[in-house]
Amino acid sequence: MMACASLGVYADTLEDARKFLVEGDHQQARTVLDKVVASNPKSKNSAQYMYILGACELEDGNYDNAERLLTEAKKKGAAAANLYLGRLAFLNYDFETAMDFYDEFKTYQEKTKTVGAEAVKESERQLTAAENALERVERIVVIDSIALPADIFFKSYKLLPSAGRLLLPFEIPFEEHQGKARMAFVNEGGDYMMWGEPDSVGNVRLVESIRLLDGTWHEPVETPSLLNKGGYADFPFMMSDGVRLYYASTGSDSMGGYDIFVASRDPQTGEYLQPQNVGMPFNSPYDDYMLAIDEENGVGWWATDRNRLGDKVTVYVYILNDLRKNYEPDSENLIEMARLTDYKATWNAEDVAQYEAILEKISAIDPDYTEKEADFKLPVGNGNYYTHYSDFKHGAAKDAMKAYLAASRNVASTERKLDGLYKRYPVNHADNVKQEILRLESELEKQRKDLINKRSDVYRLEKITK
């Protein structure tokens, strides 16, 4: 009786682990499996145990170990392993094999009425999306591949100011929103910002804000759910035209995880048109996101975890096409080009020097550089200006410029006072008002003469001949 009771507890515990797995909590499933092994070491050889652990390994990105465990589980009769074996084949771009595994799982699921119908349906949808994308793989030239920490990868994007900037969460001008976002985009003018954050029910939505005339920012507004397509939406990049928006979504047209989409915005109504998946090689069965474009230099960036680098992601740098050019669907190396097995395979041998020149040029860009606001604007000839004290070559001229600016402020102050008195005098003809006007007019005349002399001192001491 004791032995039978132990077997019952063991079976129930494995079933609990399976339920956690089906619910998407593979970490809790692992915890239960550890308890199973602790109480019954022989359970490690069971088909059910291997199937559940193999699925957990898949979720954690340990694909080789997952394939070994799931294959052995299937041999031992765990037909449910077919769903995850199909997923592994899909991630390896072996779409035909993936469909075979999904078909086997469906036969098992329909026969036993176990859960999994929705899971295999979604897997088949992703597979169909990937197969369709494989027929239209864009021919691009990827000139660099960089492995970077996943939390700050986008700080490596060498964008010119005209393209806008990618910001860390703490740079969002709303403290209460900083902890919700992973990054933000701000345009060149610094008056439009967009980022992703969870809405009231936990779905990540794109929100946008504009800077008002007084310098403050309007409360963020959610973008339409059309951009989410039933999933999350994040990692936005708005082109300088304010019309084309690139972003990442896990929605219904994704082939797995985040895919990059582009949506056009009607400049008249502000409404977005139906988003389009940008396809391969930008997207893959893995997470692909944060596409950004520098039109001036003709280059773009995007990030992906397709190379399975743990806590790092791969950032690809590519050359923009004037027009989209696709590989022929029957190209011998189509899958390799779609997954970018070797990014240098996209190169033209005769253009390598050009690629290196582009990389050297963009490497010198500081995306966080902002031009200092001018302290003043002094014409120095030939269309050039001094705008900062550091522009002066002579210390005496710099001091003269400070004196000139102080005199300018005095003139402006006197002009304001006189303007106020001029407005009062028609309704108040008191002698003291009139006398004050005359006094200030005389003082202003002297100040203006002094201002001209001080301006001449600046040019004389700096030895500037206009």
The pLDDT, as a whole number, for residue 2 is: 38
Tally the domains of the chain. Answer: 3
Residues 94 and 11 placed together within one structural domain of the fold:
yes
Q: Flag whether 370 is in a domain.
A: no
Residues 178 and 82 placed together within one structural domain of the fold:
no
Residues 156 and 300 placed together within one structural domain of the fold:
yes
The pLDDT, as a whole number, for residue 369 is: 66
Q: Which residue, 363, 387, 414, sits at the end of a domain?
A: 363
* The most confident of 56-70, 363-377, 421-435, by mean pLDDT: 56-70
Question: Model confidence at 435, in pLDDT bands (50, 70, 90)?
Answer: confident
Tens digits of per-residue pLDDT, 20-41?
A: 998 889 999 999 999 988 888 8
* The most confident of 318-327, 399-408, 437-446, by mean pLDDT: 318-327
The count of other CB atoms within 10 Å of the CB of residue 300 is: 24
pTM: 0.77
Sheet holding 288-294, edge to edge: 141-149, 312-319, 299-309, 288-294
The tokens for 274 are: 């139906």
Residues 114 and 157 placed together within one structural domain of the fold:
no
The count of other CB atoms within 10 Å of the CB of residue 164 is: 25
Q: Flag whether 398 is in a domain.
A: yes
- pLDDT at position 451 over 90: no
* The most confident of 289-303, 358-372, 426-440, by mean pLDDT: 289-303
Phi, psi at residue 204, to the nearest 5°? Answer: -75, 120
- pLDDT at position 382 over 80: no
Residues 354 and 391 placed together within one structural domain of the fold:
no
The residue among 356, 304, 340, 314 whose CA lies nearest residue 143 is 356
Question: Model confidence at 7, in pLDDT bands (50, 70, 90)?
Answer: very low
Contacts of 370 (CB under 8 A, 6+ apart): 161
Q: Flag whether 238 is in a domain.
A: yes
Count the alpha carbons within 13 Å of 290 in the hemisphere toward its beta carbon.
28
Question: Model confidence at 261, in pLDDT bands (50, 70, 90)?
Answer: very high
Separation of alpha carbons 453 and 279, rounded Å? 67
| Averaged pLDDT for residues 436-458 | 89
Q: What is the CATH number of the domain that holds 254?
A: 2.115.10
Q: Flag whether 75 is in a domain.
A: yes
Separation of alpha carbons 11 and 43, rounded Å? 10
Q: Flag whether 89 is in a domain.
A: yes
Three-state DSSP string of the chain: CHHHHHHHHHHHHHHHHHHHHHCCCHHHHHHHHHHHHHHCHHHHHCHHHHHHHHHHHHHCCCHHHHHHHHHHHHHCCCCCHHHHHHHHHHHCCCHHHHHHHHHHHHHHHHHHCCCCHHHHHHHHHHHHHHHHHHCCCECCEEEEEEEEECCCHHHHCCCCHHHCEEECHHHCCCHHHHCCCCCEEECCCCCEEEEEEECCCCCEEEEEEEECCCCCECCCEECCHHHCCCCCEEEEEECCCCCEEEEEECCCCCCCCCEEEEEEECCCCCCECCCEECCCCCCCCCCEEEEEEECCCCEEEEEEEEEEECCEEEEEEEECCCCCCECCCCCCCHHHHHHCCCHHHHCCHHHHHHHHHHHHHHHCCCCCCCCCCCCCCEEEECCEEECCHHHCCCHHHHHHHHHHHHHHHHHHHHHHHHHHHHHHHHHCCCHHHHHHHHHHHHHHHHHHHHHHHHHHHHHHHHCCCC
Assess contact for 283 and 275: CB atoms under 8 A. no
Assess contact for 50 and 76: CB atoms under 8 A. yes
Tens digits of per-residue pLDDT, 286-330?
A: 999 999 999 999 999 999 999 989 899 999 999 999 999 999 999
Domain that holds residue 427: 378-462
Tens digits of per-residue pLDDT, 46-92?
A: 999 999 999 999 999 999 999 999 999 999 999 999 999 999 999 99
Q: Flag whether 429 is in a domain.
A: yes
Q: Which residue, 363, 389, 416, sits at the end of a domain?
A: 363
Residues 239 and 344 placed together within one structural domain of the fold:
yes
Q: Flag whether 305 is in a domain.
A: yes
Residues 159 and 282 placed together within one structural domain of the fold:
yes
The pLDDT, as a whole number, for residue 429 is: 66
The tokens for 352 are: 């390598």
Q: Flag whether 183 is in a domain.
A: yes
